Structure 1
Amino acid sequence: MDGLEPGLDARGCDGNRDMEHARVDRESKSEIRAAEPGTWESIRETVKVGVQALLIALVVRTLLFQPFNIPSGSLIPTLLIGDYLFVSKYTYGYSKYSLPLSEYLPIEAHGRIWGAEPKRGDIAVFKLPKDNATDYIKRVIGLPGDKIQVIEGVLNINGKPVKRERIADYETFDAFEQPVKVVQYMETLPGGVTHRVIERDGDRGFWDNTTVYTVPDGHYFMMGDNRDNSTDSRDLSSVGYVPFENFVGRAEMIFFSIDERTPAWKLWRWPSDVRWNRLFTTIH
């Protein structure tokens, strides 16, 4: 009997340890199995939040505001190269060109819904009529039925010269990035909108003497404030009259602006090159 008792105790202990290990293993596996649904639930929740954020961003971009940056100087001195601005999509209502990547969508719809006509003096983004894809930004000068002409640099609307007043020269850069001063005027459009324009070539630039343009129904005549350096409605072969349905929205506010010679991604240049005085300014 004495010789068997140690063996029985040993087998008993081994059995107990095996049972304990088996219990622990079962509990661990149960914990793993219990954790798996929670893990997938967490992943699903993250994906759900991400999709909701994308949908909200898409709705805002499609229906409310869209950001744009200014790559050219056609609206100097009002808008500068390196300005980033918000354009309100709802101001003029919605057309197929209100949709992101509209040039790639097989949509044949014409006209606008909830349309509100542009006002003279608005700065607006539109799709270039030539290809219905390229984004342009100019000032609304002529309304449907207007007769527009430029005579010796002076804008004429319906046979009357627009009031302009010479103010201090505008300081900018020439083609060789050398500082230069150019002639600047304060122009007042019919209806009271006042804004600055510059004449790099004085009143003898290529587009400073034109024929009379009669704006067709449902179209608008667009011009840049940099009158001698703007491809706009005066050039019928490049821009011409802009259909109402091509309007994307009205420029509202500059939310960021950086020197045109500094890429926005160079964060270390921001302290010296960001145009801090232009941030969050409204556009007129």
Structure 2
Amino acid sequence: MNLQPVLSNFALILFVLMVITGIIWCLDRFVLAKQRRRAADAALREYDARNAKLVAEGIKVDHNGNRAAIEAAHVRQPTWVEYSGSFFPVIAMVFILRSFLWEPFKIPSSSMVPTLLVGDFILVNKYTYGIRLPIINKKIIQINDPQRGDVMVFKYPKDMSQDYIKRVVGVPGDTITYEDKRLTVNGKAVEYTPLDDYLDDQHPVYHKQLEEKLPSPGGFTQHRILNTADRRNFDFPSVEQFPLREACDYTEDKFTCVVPAGQYFMMGDNRDNSADSRYWGFVPDRNIVGKAFVVWMNFGNFKRVGGIH
């Protein structure tokens, strides 16, 4: 699923605006404001000297009113400086929040149904898997590692300009087998519980719905998945020659992959309608964006607001 950022290239736009307004703010604070102050002081000295001469000649003058107006005229910021200085802290705050804490995305397709629906607006935790430099997405501080069952946003390995969202089903060192639309993790079959059939809102089609219990640290991660009855286990001819494919053994009916170090195996919850690691390979740690944790809005269905499981 190719995610849609709330605004395309927003991080880069914010960064450029922050740099420009920040330079103007610093220039004004440390250079231009001092220049205006010196100009105001010079004008006031000239004004005071002229008034002193007039007073000496017996002419009455208004000291305070005109003096204040002269000072205000000289120290007043130009409009372009005033606006830049006002916007800089706001832009900087938004950039920091979006780059290091939370980033919004919109779900455009159905590969994560029933967990995420088309039109969901989600928030992604940017720091739970480590602190990364914005724009270049380079990790500088390690915090947590992704775990099986996490719903994770990442840069699509074939096109780093695209953000994808899938569920983590395999972490480094795992042996993942997929056969008869069922997962086996490290030799243990994943448990599935049948649920009521799921009606796709986008198409008048019922899908087989199951609860999947992925093993995770301290227990299991439970979530719903969909299978389509008339679809094969997976589309073997669509499997690509992806990097590290030698870690996988494919046949037309099943495959087994040993997840390499620093890599993750991702699958959509709408299993028969998801292009994922089965077809284009592993997701490197360097591609990770963050963990999706909440649906904060769906304008077509307000009941969608809540946590992601």
> Which range, TM-score by smaller chain?
0.7 to 0.9
**Does residue 275 in structure 1 map to residue 301 in structure 2?**
yes
Task: Provide closer, same or farther for how the CA distance between residues 72 and 198 of structure 1 changes in structure 2, counting only shifts above 3 A.
Answer: same
Task: Provide closer, same or farther for how the CA distance between residues 148 and 112 of structure 1 changes in structure 2, counting only shifts above 3 A.
Answer: farther
Segments of 5+ residues of structure 2 without an aligned counterpart are: 1-59, 237-252
Distance in 2 separating the partners of 1:202 and 1:156: 22
Distance in 1 separating the partners of 2:230 and 2:167: 20
**Does residue 79 in structure 1 map to residue 155 in structure 2?**
no
Asked if structure 1 preserves the Cα contact closer than 8 Å seen for 2:174 and 2:259, the reply is yes
Letter in 2 for 1:247: I
Asked if structure 1 preserves the Cα contact closer than 8 Å seen for 2:167 and 2:267, the reply is yes
Letter in 1 for 2:207: V
Segments of 5+ residues of structure 1 without an aligned counterpart are: 1-22, 104-109, 259-273
Asked if structure 2 preserves the Cα contact closer than 8 Å seen for 1:207 and 1:228, the reply is no
Letter in 1 for 2:304: R
Counterparts of 1:41-80 in structure 2 under 5 Å? 44-80=81-117
Distance in 2 separating the partners of 1:124 and 1:60: 19
Distance in 2 separating the partners of 1:214 and 1:114: 24
Instruction: Report the CA distance between 1:215 and its aligned residue.
Output: 0.4
Asked if structure 1 preserves the Cα contact closer than 8 Å seen for 2:107 and 2:119, the reply is yes
Task: Provide closer, same or farther for how the CA distance between residues 277 and 38 of structure 1 changes in structure 2, counting only shifts above 3 A.
Answer: farther
What are the superposed Cα offsets for residues 78-132 of structure 1, whole Å, 9 maximum, x if unpaired?
001111111011100034xxx44438xxxxxx65522311111000101112233
Q: Which moved more, 1:48-57 or 1:194-203?
A: 194-203
Asked if structure 1 preserves the Cα contact closer than 8 Å seen for 2:233 and 2:254, the reply is no
Distance in 2 separating the partners of 1:111 and 1:102: 9
2:162 maps to which of 130, 134, 137:
134
- In the other structure, the counterpart of 1:163 is 191
Counterparts of 1:24-35 in structure 2 under 5 Å? 33-35=70-72
Counterparts of 1:128-207 in structure 2 under 5 Å? 128-173=156-201, 178-191=203-216, 192-201=220-229, 204-207=232-235
- In the other structure, the counterpart of 1:216 is 260
- In the other structure, the counterpart of 1:248 is 289
Asked if structure 2 preserves the Cα contact closer than 8 Å seen for 1:75 and 1:225, the reply is yes
SS in 2 for 1:222: strand
Asked if structure 2 preserves the Cα contact closer than 8 Å seen for 1:147 and 1:213, the reply is yes
Distance in 1 separating the partners of 2:287 and 2:147: 15
Q: Which moved more, 1:28-37 or 1:119-128?
A: 28-37
Distance in 2 separating the partners of 1:37 and 1:112: 46
Task: Provide closer, same or farther for how the CA distance between residues 43 and 133 of structure 1 changes in structure 2, counting only shifts above 3 A.
Answer: closer
SS in 2 for 1:164: strand
Distance in 2 separating the partners of 1:164 and 1:152: 12
What are the superposed Cα offsets for residues 181-231 of structure 1, whole Å, 9 maximum, x if unpaired?
111001111131000000124563435943111100111101000000111
Letter in 2 for 1:228: D
Letter in 2 for 1:200: T
SS in 1 for 2:276: coil
Task: Provide closer, same or farther for how the CA distance between residues 210 and 94 of structure 1 changes in structure 2, counting only shifts above 3 A.
Answer: farther
Instruction: Report the CA distance between 1:178 and its aligned residue.
Output: 4.2
Letter in 2 for 1:93: G
Asked if structure 2 preserves the Cα contact closer than 8 Å seen for 1:201 and 1:228, the reply is no
- In the other structure, the counterpart of 2:136 is 102
SS in 2 for 1:86: strand
Task: Provide closer, same or farther for how the CA distance between residues 158 and 68 of structure 1 changes in structure 2, counting only shifts above 3 A.
Answer: same
Letter in 1 for 2:118: I
Instruction: Report the CA distance between 1:44 and its aligned residue.
Output: 4.4
CA RMSD of aligned residues (A): 2.9
Task: Provide closer, same or farther for how the CA distance between residues 199 and 112 of structure 1 changes in structure 2, counting only shifts above 3 A.
Answer: farther
Instruction: Report the CA distance between 1:157 and its aligned residue.
Output: 1.2
Asked if structure 1 preserves the Cα contact closer than 8 Å seen for 2:122 and 2:297, the reply is yes
| TM-score between both structures, scaled by the size of structure 1 | 0.73
Letter in 2 for 1:163: E
Identity of aligned residues (%): 40
Task: Provide closer, same or farther for how the CA distance between residues 111 and 64 of structure 1 changes in structure 2, counting only shifts above 3 A.
Answer: closer
Letter in 2 for 1:121: G
